[in-house]
A and B are shown apart, each in its own frame.
Chain A
């Protein structure tokens, strides 16, 4: 069975600090997809990134970057120079089996609070 662990329940930083959100997954699948979503207080899930298991290249998008390490089954997310608007719950999620079952398994989420 797949499992996604986000060990950090809550993180609080001061604006402009860098922050890394950890995500560790467990699976026996060789083909899978990993995702990060942002959930602001409004509740709507915002898609941030999808990464497939064959692509270990790190990704950077503006202040956001992702570090995928298959060797440690981790898919960590870093926000550089954090801003108050980054305050939200961030979920790491997993789809296994080549995505054929399409079911997303979510981690428990990390509440990020960025203070001015």
Chain B
């Protein structure tokens, strides 16, 4: 099956710093990747849709300048949390759509961000 990796799996940073999270599709090309955020004991909230070679589409209420998304290749999308604050602490999950299987989204293992 299709494999999606995320790096890092855990990151702890100081308030005010920026953190970059990578999402890679390892054995397929992903024209579309999605970034989700999940608070403890809560559901997944879609933050943005990332299309290769174009600007990401952000969901309502998600700050574009805060959460920078880049999808420079068919196998890599990055999410940068800029000037992180404690309220940005969360579990971030990416998924990648396999164009061969139309509606199938494959999820990465997630990145747990803690901002001190």
**Which residues of A come within 8 Å of B, CB atoms?**
33, 37, 42-45, 47, 50, 91, 95, 99, 102-104, 106-109, 111
Whether A44 lies near B107 (C-beta < 8 A) is: yes
Report 20 cross-chain contacts, Cβ distance below 8 Å, ordered by A residue.
A33-B103, A37-B107, A43-B91, A43-B112, A44-B107, A44-B110, A45-B44, A45-B93, A45-B110, A50-B104, A91-B44, A102-B34, A102-B97, A102-B103, A103-B34, A103-B46, A107-B43, A109-B42, A109-B43, A111-B41
| Distance in angstroms between the alpha carbons of A3 and B42 in the assembled complex | 16
Whether A104 lies near B34 (C-beta < 8 A) is: yes
Whether A102 lies near B93 (C-beta < 8 A) is: no
B8 within 8 A of A: no
Closest 3 CB pairs of A and B: A99-B103, A45-B107, A44-B109
Whether A108 lies near B103 (C-beta < 8 A) is: no
Whether A43 lies near B46 (C-beta < 8 A) is: no
Number of residue pairs A-B, CB distance < 8 angstroms: 47
Whether A95 lies near B46 (C-beta < 8 A) is: no
In the bound complex, residues from chain B placing their C-beta under 8 Å from that of A102 are 32, 34, 49, 97, 103, 105
| Distance in angstroms between the alpha carbons of A77 and B37 in the assembled complex | 25
Total B residues in contact with A, Cβ cutoff 8 Å? 22
B75 to chain A, nearest CB (A): 17
| Distance in angstroms between the alpha carbons of A106 and B95 in the assembled complex | 13
A45 to chain B, nearest CB (A): 4
Chain B residues numbered 79-116 whose CB sits less than 8 Å from any CB in chain A: 91, 93, 95, 97, 102-110, 112
| Distance in angstroms between the alpha carbons of A7 and B102 in the assembled complex | 29
In the bound complex, residues from chain B placing their C-beta under 8 Å from that of A47 are 106-107
- Chain A residue with Cβ nearest B45: A106
Whether B103 lies near A50 (C-beta < 8 A) is: yes
In the bound complex, residues from chain A placing their C-beta under 8 Å from that of B104 are 50
| Distance in angstroms between the alpha carbons of A37 and B44 in the assembled complex | 11
- Chain B residue with Cβ nearest A33: B103
Whether A108 lies near B34 (C-beta < 8 A) is: no
| Distance in angstroms between the alpha carbons of A62 and B108 in the assembled complex | 25
In the bound complex, residues from chain A placing their C-beta under 8 Å from that of B44 are 45, 91, 104, 106
Whether A95 lies near B103 (C-beta < 8 A) is: yes
